[in-house]
């Protein structure tokens, strides 16, 4: 243990050149935390929308507003990214796409699909 | 509990719940694109159907299990001080339990 006590630690996050697979992995974790935080508000919206016609209208009205629209777009990104990054990991568990080139390519696709979902969420009428 | 369901079993639960969540998401996306919900009556009627109630119950169970394993992994990865770690895990359990009770209430209320 002692010989390694003073090993150098490089933590300048902005200078680190992370490969796309690492970025997708970090975003997988971040999107999961976001979705976890969204659980309670989502259940609240579900409860209100099911309660009565007024509640349903109130939820629909709230979802039309800009703040909720942007939050919805962010959560859509989180959902799509988390879903696709998770499926990518399941395929890698099944020994599909383990090679570095294939793993990088699938990570690019996951990241791009997530960003497309974000754009779709923002532009959704 | 965490001693018995740690490691491989938690990993398996995470994967199994992930498969259900992925399948449900795909189904719900297609369903709601094909059948937009016009009003409260239609929305409420949809939730009273037995298939929907069963599917949604499984969805909620899968969601809570998946959230538990994921947040547990995050806490175990980043929180190294044992007492804080234990406190956060207990908080996570309590929070998920609150959500579970709340979801049961929502399901009972609609059925």
| Domain spanning B7-110: CATH 1.10.10.10 | no
Taking the Cβ of residue B110 and every Cβ of chain A, the question of whether any pair is shorter than 8 Å is answered with yes
- All structural domains of chain A: 20-38+66-123 (1.20.1300.10)
Q: Is B73 exposed, middle or buried (0-12, 13-18, 19+ CB in 10 A)?
A: middle
Confidence of residue B111 (pLDDT cuts 50, 70, 90): confident
Taking the Cβ of residue A47 and every Cβ of chain B, the question of whether any pair is shorter than 8 Å is answered with yes
Taking the Cβ of residue A53 and every Cβ of chain B, the question of whether any pair is shorter than 8 Å is answered with yes
pLDDT in tens, A16-69: 788 899 999 999 999 999 999 999 999 999 999 999 999 999 999 998 888 999
Percentage of chain A beyond pLDDT 90 is 76
Alpha carbons B108 and B26: distance in angstroms, whole number: 25
pLDDT at A50 (0 to 100): 96
pLDDT at B16 (0 to 100): 96
Residues of A in contact with B42 (CB under 8 A): none
The ipTM assigned to this model is 0.91
CA distance A100 to chain B (A): 23
For chain B, positions 58-97, list CB contacts with chain A under 8 A: 63, 67, 70-71, 74
> CB-based contacts of B93: which residues, under 8 Å, 6+ apart?
B68
What is the model's pTM? Answer: 0.89
Six-digit token pair at A33?
Answer: 């935390």
């Amino acid at each position: 243990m002692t010989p390694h006590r003073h090993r150098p630690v490089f933590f300048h996050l902005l200078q680190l050149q992370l490969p796309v697979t690492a970025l997708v992995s970090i975003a997988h974790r971040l999107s999961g935390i976001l979705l976890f935080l969204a659980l309670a508000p989502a259940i609240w919206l579900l409860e209100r929308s099911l309660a009565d016609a007024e509640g349903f209208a109130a939820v629909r009205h709230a979802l039309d507003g800009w703040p909720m629209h942007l939050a919805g777009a962010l959560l859509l990104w989180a959902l799509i990214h988390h879903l696709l990054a998770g499926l990518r990991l399941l395929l890698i568990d099944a020994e599909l796409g383990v090679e570095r080139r294939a793993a990088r390519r699938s990570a690019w696709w996951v990241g791009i699909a997530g960003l497309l979902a974000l754009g779709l969420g923002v532009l959704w009428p | 509990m965490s001693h018995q369901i740690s490691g491989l079993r938690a990993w398996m639960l995470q994967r199994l719940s992930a498969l259900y969540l992925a399948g449900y998401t795909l189904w719900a996306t297609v369903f709601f694109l094909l059948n937009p919900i016009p009003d409260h009556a239609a929305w409420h009627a949809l939730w009273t159907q037995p298939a929907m109630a069963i599917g949604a119950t499984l969805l909620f169970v899968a969601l809570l299990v998946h959230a538990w394993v994921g947040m547990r992994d995050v806490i175990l990865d980043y929180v190294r001080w044992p007492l804080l770690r234990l406190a956060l895990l207990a908080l996570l359990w309590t929070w998920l339990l609150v959500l579970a009770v709340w979801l049961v209430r929502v399901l009972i209320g609609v059925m």
